[in-house]
Amino acid sequence: MGETKKRREPKNALVLMGSPRPKGATAALVDCFVTQWHDQMRPEDPVQIIPAYEAALKPCIHCGYCKHTQGCTYDDFIPIDRAFQDADLLVVASPVFCLGFPAPLKAILDRTQQYYEAKFSLGIQKPVKRPKYALFLVTFGSSDSRGAAMMEEQLRLVFHLLNARLEHTIMARNTDTLPLDRKGLEDACQGVLQDFKTKMNATNRG
Ligand SMILES: Cc1cc2nc3c(=O)[nH]c(=O)nc-3n(C[C@H](O)[C@H](O)[C@H](O)COP(=O)(O)O)c2cc1C
């Protein structure tokens, strides 16, 4: 039987924020998460939030640099890499745009191709060393959850490279027509964090 590795208690939560609107539905959902993170886990520690539209990363140009040298030909990913390396819990928060991610967040996800090449071309087993839990927060205007499901699939691919395991997705649907159920979303975030705690305790006991 393989030995189960102990997990340290998550201290550093990182949110990749995909919405351009600081007062939109996604921001409200992130706010529910941050409130619960402080209530349940780390009252003192700030959550690092990277707004994808402000980070405004260049899109991957498939130049092949990362196939031969670890890293990227563009240096704008360096702070994001540092944040990925330090995070214990990774949250991707996004609205659905045309059944997918808004372009600036998609650019960040595509730039993780450098971890794929680090692993499969350069033989670096874990380009992101620290294992982490991951959570997907998604909002969409309609009741059609196909976009959210497709985005979840994309994230599973990327999370694998980030040494992250997607444990939960929280959806807020009908945001264009109905008011946000803030209480319901806070309860969902609370449940997710409780589950992380239970899983961690079980791993650390085993
Ligand atoms: C460019 C664009 C594309 C969108 N595409 C979809 C879509 O495919 N499916 C859907 O249900 N809602 C779609 N929406 C609605 C948004 O997902 C919804 O309003 C979301 O909650 C906005 O999040 P925000 O308030 O954080 O900006 C779209 C909105 C925009 C602006």
Query: How far, in Å, from the CA of 174 to the mean position of ligand 1?
Result: 10
| C-alpha–C-alpha distance, residues 58 and 65, integer Å | 15
Q: Which ligand 1 atom sits closest to the C-alpha of 143? A: 11
Query: How far, in Å, from the CA of 206 to the mean position of ligand 1?
Result: 43
Q: Are 13 and 21 in contact (CB under 8 A)?
A: no
Q: Are 100 and 151 in contact (CB under 8 A)?
A: yes
Q: Are 102 and 95 in contact (CB under 8 A)?
A: yes
| C-alpha–C-alpha distance, residues 132 and 47, integer Å | 15
Query: How far, in Å, from the CA of 189 to the mean position of ligand 1?
Result: 21
pLDDT reading at 165 higher than 60: yes
pLDDT band, very low/low/confident/very high, at 196 (cuts 50, 70, 90): confident
| C-alpha–C-alpha distance, residues 32 and 180, integer Å | 11
Query: How far, in Å, from the CA of 141 to the mean position of ligand 1?
Result: 5
pLDDT reading at 201 higher than 50: yes
Residue 54, Cβ density class (10 Å: 0-12 exposed, 13-18 middle, ≥19 buried): exposed
Q: What is the pTM of this model?
A: 0.95
- Per-residue tokens: 46: 């700030």
101 Cβ below 6 A of ligand 1: no
| C-alpha–C-alpha distance, residues 159 and 167, integer Å | 11
The CA distances from residue 107 to 18, 31, 74, 176, 179, in Å, are: 11, 24, 13, 25, 30
| C-alpha–C-alpha distance, residues 196 and 179, integer Å | 28
Tell which one of 32, 143, 171, 176 to mutate to probe ligand 1, the residue whose CB is within 8 A of the most ligand atoms. Answer: 176
Tell which one of 30, 96, 99, 170 to mutate to probe ligand 1, the residue whose CB is within 8 A of the most ligand atoms. Answer: 96
176 Cβ below 6 A of ligand 1: yes
Q: What is the pLDDT of residues 85-119, one digit of tens each?
A: 999 999 999 999 999 999 999 999 999 999 999 99
pLDDT band, very low/low/confident/very high, at 176 (cuts 50, 70, 90): very high
- Per-residue tokens: 176: 């264009």
pLDDT reading at 11 higher than 90: no
pLDDT of residue 186: 96
pLDDT reading at 1 higher than 80: no
Share of the chain above pLDDT 70, in %: 96
Among candidate residues 42, 26, 31, 33, the one with its CA nearest the CA of residue 168? 33
36 Cβ below 6 A of ligand 1: no
pLDDT band, very low/low/confident/very high, at 2 (cuts 50, 70, 90): very low
Query: How far, in Å, from the CA of 80 to the mean position of ligand 1?
Result: 25
Domains of the chain and CATH, by start:
13-205 (3.40.50.360)
Query: How far, in Å, from the CA of 38 to the mean position of ligand 1?
Result: 28
pLDDT of residue 5: 63
Average pLDDT over residues 175-187: 97
